[in-house]
C-alpha cells in the first residue's frame, strides 16, 4: 500500500509527505525570518517559549538544543500565564502558527504586564495584530499549513531570534542539519520502495501496536514530537517517555503488566550520551524486549542540531506512513476542532 502512488495520493490529500520533503527549505527560510524580526542583542537572564501544540514543539526542540550551547535556562510554557519570575530580564518568544491560540494570546499579555522582552511568531491572526499595535518584533511565517507541519518555519524563526539576541550561534550546525535532513529524505521519501525505506519499514513494524517513544537529553523533545505526530497524523494512541526517569517507575509496569505486549518501544539514540547512559540504553533494550517489541532509531550527523532533526524527520515520515496504513488522512484533526467549538460556547 505504501508503495502505491495512487493509494498514497488518495489519502494524503494535503500532501503531508511533501511538507516533510520541504522541511530543509522551511527551516532555512524560518531562520532568515527570525533574524529579520529579532530583538536587539541583550543578555537575558532566562528564556521562555510560549505556545501550545504544533507551535510549542519547536520550543521543546529549541530548549533541548540551547542546553548544549548556553548556560542560560530556557523553558517552554504551555499555559495561560508566564512564570512569576519572568521579568524585564527575560526573553519571551511567543509562538502561535495561526496567531489565534487562546492560551498563547493570554501568555503574550501576561509577558507584557511583566515587562519582558517579547518576540512573536505567527502566520497572522491576533498575534500579528498585537505585535503591530505594541511595536513588538514579529516573525511572520507562511500560512496555509496545519500547525504541526510548520515546524521548520517556526523552529527556524526561533533559531534566528536567539542568534540575533546573542544567545547562541547555529552556524555550521545549521548547515549540517540541512544536509542531514536531505539525506534522511532521500532514503525515506515515498518514491523509495518499502524494502529500502527505513521509515516505511518502521511504520509496518509499529502498525497494530501502541508506540511508546523513549528519548533522553537531546532526544527527549524529539520523542514527544514522534508521539504527537502519531497522535495527530495516524489518529492513533502513542506516548513518549524518557530515560533515566522511566527506570524509577515505568519499567515495573512494562515488565509486570501482561498488556505490555500490545505496545512497541521506540528508542531514539542521539549518540552523544555519557558512558553511564550508554550502559542504561543497552540494559533497557534487553529488558524491555522481554515485554514488547523494541526498535532503536539512531541519529545521523555530528552536531546536536543535525542529530536532533535527523530523528525529527524520521518520526514525521513514520507518522504519515502509519496514517496511510490506518487508512487515515494525515492532515485532519476533527476532535481538536470539536473541542475548540465546545470551549468557544459561552
Catalytic residues: 232, 248, 340
Whether 113 and 88 have beta carbons less than 8 Å apart is answered as no
The DSSP secondary structure of 160-218, one letter per residue, reads HHHHHHTS---HHHHHHHHHHHHHHHHHHSTTS-GGG-HHHHHHHHHTTSEEEEEE-GG
Q: CA 299 to CA 112: how far, in whole Å?
A: 39
What is the H or E stretch that residue 294 is in?
Answer: strand 294-298
Whether 316 and 230 have beta carbons less than 8 Å apart is answered as no
Phi, psi values for residue 123, rounded to 5°: -95, -5
- The number of beta carbons lying within 10 Å of the beta carbon of residue 67 is 17
* Four-CA torsion 182, 186, 190, 192, nearest 10 degrees: -170
* Four-CA torsion 10, 16, 298, 275, nearest 10 degrees: -140
What is the H or E stretch that residue 242 is in?
Answer: strand 239-242
Strand, coil or helix: 145 = coil
The DSSP secondary structure of 56-98, one letter per residue, reads HHHHHHHHHHHTTT-SS-EEEE-SSS--TT--TTEEEEEE-SS
Amino acid at each position: 500500500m505504501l508503495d502505491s502512488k495512487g493509494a498514497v495520493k488518495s489519502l494524503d490529500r494535503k500532501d503531508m509527505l511533501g511538507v516533510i520533503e520541504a522541511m530543509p527549505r522551511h527551516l532555512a527560510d524560518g531562520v532568515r525570518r527570525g533574524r529579520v524580526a529579532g530583538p536587539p542583542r541583550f543578555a537575558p537572564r532566562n528564556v521562555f517559549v510560549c505556545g501550545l501544540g504544533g507551535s510549542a514543539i519547536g520550543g521543546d526542540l529549541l530548549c533541548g538544543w540551547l542546553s548544549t550551547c548556553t548556560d542560560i535556562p530556557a523553558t517552554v510554557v504551555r499555559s495561560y500565564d508566564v512564570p512569576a519570575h519572568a521579568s524585564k530580564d527575560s526573553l519571551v518568544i511567543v509562538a502561535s502558527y495561526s496567531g489565534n491560540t487562546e492560551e498563547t494570546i493570554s501568555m503574550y499579555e501576561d509577558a507584557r504586564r511583566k515587562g519582558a522582552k517579547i518576540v512573536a511568531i505567527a502566520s497572522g491572526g491576533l498575534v500579528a495584530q498585537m505585535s503591530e499595535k505594541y511595536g513588538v518584533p514579529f516573525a511572520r511565517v507562511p500560512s496555509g499549513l496545519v500547525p504541526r507541519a510548520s515546524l521548520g518555519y517556526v523552529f527556524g524563526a526561533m533559531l534566528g531570534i536567539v542568534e540575533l539576541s546573542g544567545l547562541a550561534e547555529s552556524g555550521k550546525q545549521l548547515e549540517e542539519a540541512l544536509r542531514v535532513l536531505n539525506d534522511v529524505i532521500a532514503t525515506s521519501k515515498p518514491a523509495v520502495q518499502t524494502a529500502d525505506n527505513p521509515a516505511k519499514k518502521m511504520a509496518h513494524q509499529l502498525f497494530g501496536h501502541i508506540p511508546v517513544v523513549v528519548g533522553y537529553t537531546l532526544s527527549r523533545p524529539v520523542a514527544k514530537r514522534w508521539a504527537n505526530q502519531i497522535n495527530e497524523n495516524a489518529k492513533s494512541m502513542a506516548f513518549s517517555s524518557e530515560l533515566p526517569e522511566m527506570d524509577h517507575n515505568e519499567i515495573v509496569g512494562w515488565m509486570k503488566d501482561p498488556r505490555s505486549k500490545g505496545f512497541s518501544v521506540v528508542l531514539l539514540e542521539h549518540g552523544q550520551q555519557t558512558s553511564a547512559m550508554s550502559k542504561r540504553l543497552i540494559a533497557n533494550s534487553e529488558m524491555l524486549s522481554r515485554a514488547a517489541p523494541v526498535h532503536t532509531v539512531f541519529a545521523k550527523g555530528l552536531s546536536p542540531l543535525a542529530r536532533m532533526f535527523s530523528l525529527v524527520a524520521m518520526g514525521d515520515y513514520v507518522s504519515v506512513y502509519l496514517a496511510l496504513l490506518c487508512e487515515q488522512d494525515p492532515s485532519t484533526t476533527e476532535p481538536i476542532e470539536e473541542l475548540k467549538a465546545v470551549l468557544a460556547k459561552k
